[in-house]
Structure 1
């Protein structure tokens, strides 16, 4: 089975790299950064969903479902509320970004609150905003490397260090090659793979193991009504987590890449509604294993146990590729926006010759992608605790919510 898995994963990775190389445009910086601001609705919805339901999120929701049941669904509901809030500002974000040639969320805050030529406060503010955002997404990127390493370790029975190095190399390579345009295309492929995995493996497995959901009644009541962590947890999610959507750099990058304001608004609404089924199905996978398992399992292993139980041969290989797709779809996005923020917002682009400037920016972006990928790899090796990495990243994002809201509603 290991050889079959190696074949399918290798075939998938070659396909992803081929797509990335096809979208390599050394002279087109706007395509690398925001896909020339001409992205249509469906690709943006797919890449947004791939980022929000992929990566450590899928593994984390399955683990959370195993441990706490439907409490995990509250996270999905909070994100839906967040995307509804984004709907009211998405058109403004897109048009303001196009008018002022903005490429990222920190770039927006810097443009609105600073003047680069004069103030010392300007430089301090710019460095602080960009540095904190980079810090946040370093944790999120490291979490993706940890999750990918766990998959490779489980599938190929290799050491964690080897697995995490391979994972980082894969993501860094194709992200450095093609930028956002390549990320969008590969995310579309990865999202389709995720959906097929869910349809062929997860949904039939849940129905079969739970006898059409009837065995869920064996679980404790607080796992079924979502109160495993208490009512305060459920109430806090929409109050605090929903606002994080407004300040996520990956979401801003996609709004800035939309072809017009209507597209940006549609993407925000469709993405919010489209992700909720995933935030229900993934916890149900964990709950299913909780029902049928005769022994205690580590929550991080539950996804792999389920796949191993409900697939073999070709289907097993495809299921593992689907899970790898989920992990890669977040990792590439996080690495891409870290690099953009570092070069555009933190370092600054002030070369006088426009042609030289754009060429230098292009090289700096690729160098930053490789450098930050290596740093995130080091973090994943030193601190391989995916839940803690995700919690630090997501919770820290919300500190930008007040200043962002004031900026968006400013007349």
Structure 2
């Protein structure tokens, strides 16, 4: 019994130590993943160029390797090389665009100027705490917005647009349609980075699977010998990025951000939608809808809102219309797209606040006198006569 007890303790100690090392490795990986991504692009390109171009395409040259591939196999190598370049450009381009916006747009973001359209909209997002203010109804008539940032940031005390949330990690400012800060990629996921961020995941998955498949075939082929040791690094990195992209990131993020059009705090189970509706008097009315006022209903409609129309979806550099329209367009109803169902609900609220008829209005006209009863009696007798 003492032996089993010591073995059990030793096993528990081993598991605790292993958990510590795994946590440390994950922490290191967390802060070095972007470096690994860039390194993966270079290493994979080097190895696949060696396999497809130098070992196969150039095999017919006099100074090439001894084994000569058939023209059909050389043509296939050209096709595989073209597929690799296509996946590389899309994977590297999408994450590169995310890093560009993170460095040059997200830091110090400001709301667009209110010179194009008045600041108060027909429907605006607010908070429950703001709705408890004594002057809440007058915020609209004063030309203000019922949405304030409670954090210490560049927007502190100033008005901010709908679906703007505070980003703490390295930015300390409010970003439009802000979802979260991705430590894995060093990217704040907000209005301008949502599309390239969401497209990076499937492109990176396809890129990793394709690179791993080509290198696996090359290592197993009897006609290709003496490949670089970096080939095994390609297999390891492709497996890591393929699993990460396919499981955690792509499934979870696409479901929430793209298909349901819910970001950041809006995903919480205790989240309450707080909206302010501007009536015809210029005063605000508080409303708490039971559904997402920014969801367009179906998953396909939400995907088109986030990624653009179907012909625009695959292109990570082609931003949807809502990016350019946010905050400074001629739509006086909202900063960003509102659900048609909620706009109907908001308009009904505004109609209830419309004033009734004034007391000094003239009375309605007297309706004409009805015809004599004999008219109906004679018509009835004539129409029912059988002779």
TM-score by length of 2: 0.28
Choose 1 or 2 for highest CA Rg.
Answer: 2
Whichever structure has more strand as a proportion of its residues is 2
Whichever structure has more helix as a proportion of its residues is 1
TM-score by length of 1: 0.26
Structure number with greater CO (CA < 8 Å, separation at least 6) is: 1
